[in-house]
Structure 1
Amino acid sequence: MILCLYALQNGGVETYYYRLASEYLKQKNEKITLILLNKSVNSEFYDKFTKVANICFYSEFLYGSNLSIPISIHALFPFKNKNKSLFGLLRGKSIAHVATGFEFVLIQKILCKYGLNIPITMGMYHIKEFSFKVPNKMPYFEKTNRTIFRELRRSRILFNDTVSMKFNNISPFNIDDSTVFPIGIDIKENSYNPSSFDNVISICSIGRLVRFKTYNLWMLNVIRELIDNGNKVNYHIYGYGELDNEIKNKIDDLGLNDSVFLMGEIDYSDFSKVVSKYNLFIGSGTALLESAACGVPSIIAIESIQEPYTYGYISDVPGISYNTDDMYKKVAVADIIESYCKLNDDGRKFLSSKNYIKAKEFSISNNIKEFDLLKNNDTYVGRYNYYIYLLSFNFILFASKFNMVDWYKSRYE
């Protein structure tokens, strides 16, 4: 199996790939190959990843591999002649997986150069990845991304069972013929013990502080409301990103310096140890599932909504869909937390057990079987020009950097 990542950081897709690689090695006694597009890596995570995967950089396939330039520009350089060691990392693999159209185009180019004919699957890790609005004329690279995504059919992977309906409502094409299975997580022993906590309810979030994860901001209002209503609560935020300063300023404005704390980034290997120290977790993506898999009652933070509402705990939703708006009836996040504050230890243990049982539906062991079923899919041959694609992509990056276009930076909001 071949995986491709733009950069190796502590994000949801990256940590999923790590779990996937670990489980693949466990089940098949074989390392996957991970191709990184960006040389900037989290060094601790990289060292850990090398134990379960063979890692190389896309730049190694190109002339000028020692240059420190963006991959979107470097990918325009000529390819080196076949390299025996790099070929060894690709040969014998039966499937590849990517998360974006950009990754797809670059990986397909490598496979073509090395004469390898294997199917490439593409996961939809954010509903707006192929549906965000582009004012005026859509650029060549984005038109190509959407064409690839549309034509992959069964090699297009959705990670919940309602995203196709939502996507179909905002996109000109239908994706009902996709493969659907949930992102897998490791299931650990439920060690949640409510009696070990003090009388202050501790809540945490773990994840990137990015704009579409709007709960990082509105949770501060929730904490203020809970405290004003006489509840003893605190909130610890783990992660890094563009919202850092905005969150700090809002903490000051709301007078929450004694109750809300920015804890910085944590190493992925410490996730279970950290999250298990808290009464409650609130978040989205795989972090939500992983906290529930530790037995921590986990409140769903619906992405991109501006008001503090939720579907409840992960155990409250049917099926494998929970992340996007307008799926189920919503309740106020403050009400959910206030109800938890009133529970005794037995009630909290029962809630922990419900979340833990729900998390088991997302076991990583099932994902390897799902990918195996896609190995015999037809290889997609795209009708696009690799170099025009890259020139188009670089033009938009340049224009976005100098504020000549504004839609690209805000495409996930």
Structure 2
Amino acid sequence: MPDQKIMRLLIVNLHLDIGGVETLLVRLIPQLARRGVSVTLLLLQKKVNKEFYDSLITHCDVKFAADAFPFTKKHLQAFFGGQPDVAYFTINQAFVLGTWLLTRAGYSTKTVLGAYQTEIFCAEAKPWQYHRRLVQNAIRNRIPASSMIFGNTAGRDFHADKLKVSFNASPIVRLFVDIEKYKFIDRSQLPRIEIVSIGRISPYKTYNFTILPIVSRFVASGHSLKWHIYGDGEDYDKLRNTVDAMGLSDHVHLHGAMSYSRFQQVLDNAFLFVGSGTSLIEAAACGVPALTTIEYAEDAISYGFISEIQGFNLIEPGLDKKVFAIEEKILETLALDTESYTQLQHECYRKANSYSGDSVVDEYINVFHAARKTGTAVRLNSFQMMLYCASAALGYAMKKLGLHH
């Protein structure tokens, strides 16, 4: 049992807009607060979903990195309001900036990393990419495996292979979803026209592009298929331009960012959901058959419906699972009779229910308490921070110029 001393937990994330990690934090933080954990959420960007923010401000102290300036020890100690016991980082930038700020404040806060995307901490690091090597060397040499949280075994194994580090001692804490807040709706009588996807339009979510030729073929064959995509991200403009160039603007509708409270509403006419992350689980909870995609895939492929997949590895590349063409699964769904479609709905719903439960929150708390006792306080000096910023800026500029980096 963890000791009963109140824990001061600092969570550092990129922003609080709609995304997989952000929805996890919106579920997790109130539960942590109810269990007596004092939570501060530090955001690197002032990019905030109002619903998310309003739901959190009564459960934690929300701070923005810009307010940490001028980065003096005195100011930072006032900014943090005392030394956090544990800092929980969800992305590279959060780890680097957060750790540097804590170092400047003179704190020895223990480090925990949460890896919820296939290569979040293990993307290829070329010799000049100091911004990646800094983080990866910290993982190899400073952060114990017990302080690395993975959402599933696939993510853990992928990081282990790329970083050449054993993460056998790393906790696997599955994602969790508030299944109870959604209403299961029988969709067997709906016209099978609308497909919906909800999530960030990011480079690793390649399905946003690889499914477009499938829609084009359906349209050419006379089918009135509509694909509604909700979300924004780095590739939003690129996707918009591709849809227009392919002449699909009447069939592929990009709605941009949506209010999260509308999640169930935008699925009202959906006969199929295609996507990744927790949105798959939430869609299935609403009664929409949820078809997985595979991160980074160059083709429109899937491991099937969530109900067809054993365990909690759903979207990672290279899994030892049967792979289907997404077009094949769409055709299969269109051909189902009413009884078979209803059965598919319920099978996906039952799978979604396996992501519910308070035990997940207890697992997080156990990891944080263990880190407070036996974890490591990583420190970064200003010279390292300067090199990190220069390397990251160079990588960003090369990407904008269309150069390989």
For this structure pair, what is the TM-score category when the shorter chain's length is used for normalisation? Answer: 0.7 to 0.9
Distance 1:331 1:366, change over 3 A: same
Q: Which of these residues, 345, 356, 371, is aligned with residue 352 of structure 1?
A: 345
Q: Which of these residues, 316, 327, 337, is aligned with residue 330 of structure 2?
A: 337
Q: Secondary structure at the match of 1:380?
A: coil
**Contact residue 291 and residue 304 of structure 2 kept, 8 A:** yes
Unaligned runs of 5+ in 1: 64-76
Distance 1:357 1:268, change over 3 A: same
Distance 1:105 1:251, change over 3 A: closer
> CA–CA distance in 2 between the matches of 1:404 and 1:229?
38
Q: How many residues align?
A: 390
Once the two structures are TM-superposed, the CA of residue 39 in structure 1 deviates from its matched residue by 3.1
Matched, 1:104 2:95: yes
Once the two structures are TM-superposed, the CA of residue 346 in structure 1 deviates from its matched residue by 2.2
> CA–CA distance in 1 between the matches of 2:322 and 2:117?
22
Letter in structure 2 aligned against 1:38: Q
> CA–CA distance in 2 between the matches of 1:153 and 1:30?
23
Correspondence list, 1:5-404, <5 A: 5-25=13-33, 27-28=34-35, 32-63=39-70, 77-81=71-75, 86-87=80-81, 95-111=86-102, 119-139=110-130, 141-150=131-140, 151-188=143-180, 189-195=182-188, 197=190, 199-229=191-221, 231-327=223-319, 328-363=321-356, 365-374=358-367, 375-377=369-371, 378-382=374-378, 385-403=380-398
Letter in structure 1 aligned against 2:139: F
Letter in structure 1 aligned against 2:110: P
Give % identity: 26
Once the two structures are TM-superposed, the CA of residue 397 in structure 1 deviates from its matched residue by 3.0
Once the two structures are TM-superposed, the CA of residue 302 in structure 1 deviates from its matched residue by 0.6
Q: Alignment RMSD, CA only?
A: 2.8
**Contact residue 192 and residue 352 of structure 1 kept, 8 A:** no
Letter in structure 1 aligned against 2:398: N
**Contact residue 276 and residue 294 of structure 1 kept, 8 A:** no
Letter in structure 2 aligned against 1:10: I
Once the two structures are TM-superposed, the CA of residue 119 in structure 1 deviates from its matched residue by 3.3
Partner residue in 2 for 1:66? none
Q: Secondary structure at the match of 2:144?
A: helix
Once the two structures are TM-superposed, the CA of residue 284 in structure 1 deviates from its matched residue by 0.8
> CA–CA distance in 1 between the matches of 2:341 and 2:86?
44
> CA–CA distance in 2 between the matches of 1:402 and 1:23?
40
TM-score (norm 1): 0.84
Unaligned runs of 5+ in 2: 1-8
Once the two structures are TM-superposed, the CA of residue 143 in structure 1 deviates from its matched residue by 2.6
Distance 1:180 1:282, change over 3 A: same
TM-score (norm 2): 0.86
Q: Secondary structure at the match of 1:269?
A: helix
Distance 1:54 1:410, change over 3 A: farther
Once the two structures are TM-superposed, the CA of residue 170 in structure 1 deviates from its matched residue by 3.0
Once the two structures are TM-superposed, the CA of residue 298 in structure 1 deviates from its matched residue by 0.6
> CA–CA distance in 1 between the matches of 2:13 and 2:137?
21
> CA–CA distance in 1 between the matches of 2:79 and 2:287?
44
> CA–CA distance in 1 between the matches of 2:398 and 2:102?
35
Once the two structures are TM-superposed, the CA of residue 312 in structure 1 deviates from its matched residue by 0.6
Letter in structure 1 aligned against 2:61: N
Distance 1:381 1:257, change over 3 A: closer
> CA–CA distance in 1 between the matches of 2:325 and 2:75?
59
